[in-house]
Amino acid sequence: MASLAKKRRLTESSSPEEHAAAHLVLAKRGDVLLELSKDGAAAGTLLVSSIVLGLASPIFDAMFNGSFAEGQGLSAASPKKIALPDDDSTAMTLFCKIAHMQTTRLNNTLSFDTLADLAVVCDKYRCTESVRPWLQLWIHKRLANPGADKFEKLIFVAYVCDLPKEFEEVTLACLRSRTYIGEMCNITHGFDIVPLQIIDELRCKSEHAYTTLRNKLYGKDFEELLASRCSNASSALQSYLGFLSEHDVTLNNSLSLKQLSYIGRAMQDPELVGCSLKHDSCVVNKIGNMGLIACYALKEACKGLKGLCLDCFREKFLGYSSINCRLGHAASISPADSN
């Protein structure tokens, strides 16, 4: 379980109310008093119903309805105190509020760290189903800012909480909008739950997309122009490279694929040196076509790009041979595997 792993991270700063000590009554006739902790210090209590928690989580159900000490002598007159020193206080509070339908004052957005901490609680207590709609809402709210420092924590959340649609959307957003993919501390959140092959797959897809674009901009015609002995080749080459430079086109991963696509859309049809030359068998005569190809290639930089399919990934790397893909398509295989 996730609780057995050790965190190795710094916590993202959150709003004061997220971590303030609280003594909340979530069930007026609650029979359990959860004692929360943060960094070894008391962080408040939650008065909850053992029945509600048992319905939301099979782990709590076993705890309160089995032979465990926590489930003996439960009474609303004298709620049983249960300490949760290993669980994030904010994440546990969120889970309990949702389970008890106390959602009026929940924030529309959560920090990336808080979302990841909530995913850890979901994994430990197997309670994803009870909070799934909220997880999906919070993830979608964060999709609008894929360039944020800790955005890749959403990969952790979607994977751990088994959200195939969100997993594909988050990984696609990374491929389109991030120039570097695979910050291990973000994708793993300090736990050993997420397979590191996810990082390899994303980097492979990203490199393939950049390589494909690079080949279109500096492909066969460009190489022939470099090798041409035509007296006009040098000026034509300078014209083409100047055209790309004028639009700040660089393929050294300093620009995201989405940024390159925006550049392509803003380009006008180029008028390059050599376009008017009528050298029937000279590569200089292709310079105009090269400019058009560059415009189109940049404009379509993100076309055909797909995020990772959670089910297909598990089938490919984890040996889940009987999985039915919930997104309804074949396995998303990286370009290197198709050779």
The domain locations on the chain are 2-188, 211-299
Cβ atoms of 192 and 323 closer than 8 Å: no
Domain 2-188 top-level CATH class: alpha beta
Whole-number pLDDT of residue 322: 62
Cα separation of 70 and 252, whole Å? 58
What is the full per-residue pLDDT of the chain (339 aa) written as tens digits? 444 333 433 334 444 344 444 799 999 999 999 999 988 888 999 999 999 999 999 999 999 987 788 878 888 999 999 999 999 999 999 999 999 999 998 999 999 999 999 999 999 999 999 999 999 999 999 999 999 999 999 999 999 999 999 999 999 999 999 999 989 999 999 999 999 999 999 999 999 999 999 999 998 888 888 888 887 788 888 888 888 888 889 888 789 999 999 999 888 766 554 555 555 557 777 777 788 888 989 999 999 999 999 999 998 888 877 667 888 865 444 444 444
Cα separation of 136 and 119, whole Å? 12
Cα separation of 81 and 47, whole Å? 9
Enumerate residues 6+ apart whose C-beta is below 8 A from 245.
none
Cα separation of 290 and 96, whole Å? 60
Enumerate residues 6+ apart whose C-beta is below 8 A from 151.
112, 142, 145, 170, 173, 174, 178, 186
First to last CA, the chain: 37
Whole-number pLDDT of residue 276: 52
Enumerate residues 6+ apart whose C-beta is below 8 A from 302.
176, 257, 258, 261
* Tokens of residue 220, six digits: 């066969």
Q: How far is CA 304 from CA 21, 126, 184, 257, in A?
A: 48, 35, 26, 12
Cβ atoms of 108 and 142 closer than 8 Å: no
Pairing outcome for strands 22-25 and 32-38: unpaired
Amino acid at 253: N
Whole-number pLDDT of residue 266: 87
Whole-number pLDDT of residue 330: 53
Query: Which residues, listed in sequence order, are joined to residue 37 by a DSSP beta bridge?
Result: 42, 88
